[in-house]
Amino acid sequence: MAALGVLALLLLAACGGPRAAGQKRKEMVLSEKVNQLMEWASKRSVIRMNGDKFRRFVKAPPRNYSVIVMFTALQPHRQCVVCKQADEEYQILANSWRYSSAFTNKIFFAMVDFDEGSDVFQMLNMNSAPTFINFPAKGKPKRGDTYELQVRGFAAEQLARWVADRTDVNIRVIRPPNYAGPLMLGLLLAVIGGLVYLRGSNLDFLYNKTGWAFAALCFVLAMTSGQMWNHIRGPPYAHKNPHTGQVSYIHGSSQAQFVAETHIVLLFNGGVTLGMVLLHEAATSDLDVGKRKIMCIAGIGLVVLFFSWLLSVFRSKYHGYPYRYMILLSETGSVRFGCSRGEARGLKLVYNS
């Protein structure tokens, strides 16, 4: 019986030995990968990866950590303006995590540039940049692990919410101090204080209804043109096609816009407003009939012209809109999200811009 017991123990050891050795080897590989990533992260919040590093640390098991990867094209000859802007926000997010007291090896931030890892783009059948993908600790990325850049924009706060949703890691975004706002506020207060000091004996200008009405109108026009959207989303000013050199100022999607587009819309709204003011003055002023007729004709012309252009912009963004006015802008300059194209090594790359 003793001999049988010894034989059974030997059989168990023979069967469990390779499995235990394999498990131990896997743990050693995982430990090496985590230590290497932690070393890189200590030097740079966003780890730059080529094809070999991506396959080893992101794709290949074992892995007990999540990796947020930004696929981008930052080289100057790619002319991807939005890639640079998205990279700035991504760096803010990664730095906020790296210098947070809650920093762990549960999640890492990485980047694959097209010119350094075009084989990765081919491997993933990816043809757009910038693109953010979460590679979870277990399994392959699912649909929700690809960030919806067109819908959410690339602000660091929006990326942080998405990361929290996919990894349960909450990152408090801490932006570098920006002194432009306080300086402008201080300058404004200084100007107001100077005016009050110089005209201390006559403050009637503070009760000027026309001045306050003009200031309020400027504020309303700025807000209705989309300035707040630009502040939140940080879009590029315009888009230049790298092949044709054509510059587009109107975005072809209803889900996005360029900064130049808000300026154009502000101008058009201002033109319509000026036309309405002229019509009002023509009807209520005490000027002679000839001048009032000129003001009426000018007001009608401004309203028709600028309102037509506003409808034209609306039609270029909301395709299929059935109504139009009198004058249409050319829609050849409108672009869809991710319209500029570049080719490298047989792979077609579309930059979201």
Q: Is residue 100's pLDDT more than 80?
A: yes
Q: Is residue 52's pLDDT more than 80?
A: yes
pLDDT digits (tens, 9 = 90+) for 202-233: 666 667 777 778 788 888 888 888 877 777 76
pLDDT confidence of residue 339: 33
pLDDT digits (tens, 9 = 90+) for 273-309: 899 988 988 888 888 888 888 989 999 999 888 888 8
Of the candidates 113, 116, 20, 128, the residue with the CA atom closest to the CA atom of residue 69:
113
pLDDT confidence of residue 138: 86
Mean pLDDT of 140-160: 86
